[in-house]
Amino acid sequence: MKKLIADKIMELSPYKWYGKVTRVVGLTIEAKGPQASVGELCYILVGKKFNKKVKAEVVGFRDENVLLMPLNSTSEISPGCLVEATGKPLQVKVGYSLIGKVIDGCGELLDGMSLPKGLASFPTESAPPNPLLRPRITETMSLGVRAIDTFLTVGKGQRVGIFAGSGVGKSTLMAMIAKKSAADVNVIALIGERGREVKDFIERDLGEDGLKNTVMVVATSDQPALMRIKGAMTATAIAEYFREQGLNVNLMMDSVTRFAMAQREIGLAIGEPPTTKGYTPSVFAMLPKLLERSGTSVAGSITAFYTVLVDGDDMNEPIADAVRGILDGHFVLERQLANKGHYPAINVLKSISRVMDDIVSTEHKQIAKKVRGVLSTYLEAEDLIQIGAYKRGSSPDIDQAVALYPDIIRFLQQTTEENVSLTDSVERLVQQFGKEVL
């Protein structure tokens, strides 16, 4: 113990490193010094007596100048302001007493109150678990959403993308999962959201019951780009902390697209070349670093859900394409279904869970596959059926699809108040469709 304390003392520097702001260009602050490394947290001392501190992070270097990106407003920064290096990256306070709280991207309570006592410091950025030490996904996770639990079964530690345009029900689906899933704790990150929607989500969608088992991290669209990135990193760090305590954690992030847009802003500001649709190379380097941190570890699991905004419902835009290639499955929310009043608006034929076959029973797998086939058969022949061009008896498969289609649609629909477990959903699937399709 004494040796450990002595080693820590030897690591301490007797000096503080300072630099001076030379200019502010767009989103970046250039400073002559201090001695610092990329990712290090610095304080810019502002005010007449330099008694206020603005948090900033080192994002790069230009010639002999340090490039910083602020986590707060830059309104009081002027030439000559002192820049103080901390010697370490941003850390946040985490612990069980954080559950039920709403915090910002730096880990401070959003209502301005002081953090609870007894929290431990935890780095916002860390390496993903060693792939050889990751346990395989072998257990199902009940989410309480019938369409997912039966046709897109999720396992503990799986990472899933929720792909949708605006206004198709992403937030409602996230709230359903938060309230109904079998996870020990939820961590929800709202990245780049409109300020109005934050309270709407907490009070209308999540509710008091959902919040009492949840840590919420909020970085609204008006905040600096770096704060939006830190919001995603902080939420992931909090989920990692609870995973290391042996818990099964649900991490929900809305949205990865706005995280990528924030990184694009930073990349363009420090001189990166724009590539695919204006996104810089650092965006596609950051995505796997963020998304790979969730999943299983030897202690616990993080089951993660990342929403992806798709412009004009284009599922092949760059961010959607990159995220789909990293994750273990994706749910596609379709505007056409939402327009018909079909909620949750999940298109099960366009969605996939890459671990479902490994974690469900053979009977469940077979019936789900057959029902998907029936649904596909109906949709392929739907135009003929609707205009009356199909004659009954021409195809046994289409006849079966016409008979079962209304029941399948009713089975897939679910209100936000309806509580169902994975076991209940699978039993209903077997009883309702088992004899019909096998």
For the stretch 19-36, pLDDT in tens is 899 988 877 899 997 888
Shared domain for 65 and 96, answered yes or no, is: no
Shared domain for 100 and 78, answered yes or no, is: no
The domain boundary, picked from 358, 373, 401, lies at: 358
How many CB atoms within 10 Å of residue 84? 18
In a domain, 2, yes or no: no
pLDDT band at 344 (very low <50, low <70, confident <90, very high): very high
Res. 7: pLDDT tops 80 = no
Number of domains in the chain: 3
Shared domain for 228 and 332, answered yes or no, is: yes
Shared domain for 351 and 370, answered yes or no, is: no
- Structural contact between residues 346 and 353, judged by C-beta atoms closer than 8 angstroms: no
Res. 264: pLDDT tops 80 = yes
pLDDT band at 52 (very low <50, low <70, confident <90, very high): confident
Mean pLDDT over 230-250 rounds to 95
Shared domain for 209 and 196, answered yes or no, is: yes
Tell me, what's the pLDDT at 11? Answer: 61
Shared domain for 242 and 124, answered yes or no, is: yes
pLDDT band at 435 (very low <50, low <70, confident <90, very high): confident
Mean pLDDT over 409-429 rounds to 92
Tell me, what's the pLDDT at 76? Answer: 79
Shared domain for 321 and 242, answered yes or no, is: yes
- Chain segment 279-337, per-residue pLDDT in tens: 999 999 999 999 999 999 999 999 999 999 887 666 778 899 999 999 999 999 998 89
**Share above pLDDT 90 across residues of the chain, in percent, rounded to a whole number:** 52
d(CA 103, CA 216): 6
- Chain segment 58-106, per-residue pLDDT in tens: 988 888 889 998 888 777 788 888 998 988 888 999 999 999 999 999 8
Please state, rounded to an integer, the average pLDDT across all residues of the chain.
Answer: 89
- Chain segment 126-157, per-residue pLDDT in tens: 889 899 989 999 999 999 999 999 999 999 99
Say which residue the tokens 């847009």 belong to: 261
In a domain, 8, yes or no: no
**Share above pLDDT 70 across residues of the chain, in percent, rounded to a whole number:** 95
Shared domain for 129 and 274, answered yes or no, is: yes
Q: For residue 217, which of 71, 106, 94, 93 has the smallest C-alpha distance?
A: 106
Res. 16: pLDDT tops 70 = yes
- Chain segment 168-184, per-residue pLDDT in tens: 888 889 889 998 888 99
pLDDT band at 5 (very low <50, low <70, confident <90, very high): low
Tell me, what's the pLDDT at 2? Answer: 57
pLDDT band at 1 (very low <50, low <70, confident <90, very high): low
Shared domain for 102 and 76, answered yes or no, is: no
Identify the domain containing residue 177 by its residue range: 92-358
